[in-house]
Amino acid sequence: MKLSYTKFNALMSAVMEHLNTTDMTIYDISGYGGEPVQFGVNWCAMGTCTVKETKEFAENLRYAASLAETLNRLDIEYVFDDWKFTDRQAYKDYMQNIINALKRGSLHGIKEAISR
């Protein structure tokens, strides 16, 4: 699936808003060169935490890894072109459609939201 770089950035913003954490992020860890993007998870050092905090962090990390796997199955390639959103609200609406699809967790739904 080819996406303009603007749509790719909107996708990544939607993913981060959906994760709703500053403890971990999903990144494009592939090189540049026309191959599908490979996503990975970056997480912060926790330091010593309570058992409850550790379990919550581990659960969030597992979810982020699962989400990165889902994104990898989309075989996304981004292209640098001059496609732009007409205004900020259109960009936010596009992101919200992606966030809604991420919440539902359907690979087809995510792909459909990104393709709009």
Spatial CB neighbours of 101, under 8 Å, sequence gap ≥ 6 = 109, 110, 112, 113, 114
- Say what the pTM is: 0.77
Q: Which pLDDT value is given to residue 109?
A: 86
Q: Which pLDDT value is given to residue 95?
A: 85
CA distance 39 to 102: 15
Q: Residue 50: exposed, middle, or buried by beta-carbon count in 10 A (0-12, 13-18, 19+)?
A: exposed
What pLDDT band is residue 23 in, cutting at 50, 70 and 90? confident
Tell which residue, 41, 37, 39, 40, has the closest CA to residue 1. Answer: 37
**What string of H, E and C letters represents the secondary structure of the chain?**
CEEEHHHHHHHHHHHHHHHCCCCEEEEECCCCCCCCCCEEEEECCCCCCCHHHHHHHHHHHHHHHHHHHHHHCCCCEEECCCCCCCCHHHHHHHHHHHHHHHHHCCHHHHHHHHHC
pLDDT of 2 > 60? The answer is: yes
The residues pairing with 40 across neighbouring beta strands, listed in sequence order, are 27
pLDDT-above-90 percentage for the chain: 40
What pLDDT band is residue 60 in, cutting at 50, 70 and 90? very high
Express each pLDDT in 29-44 by its tens digit.
876 556 788 999 999 8
* Higher per-residue confidence, 115 vs 86: 115
Q: Which pLDDT value is given to residue 6?
A: 83
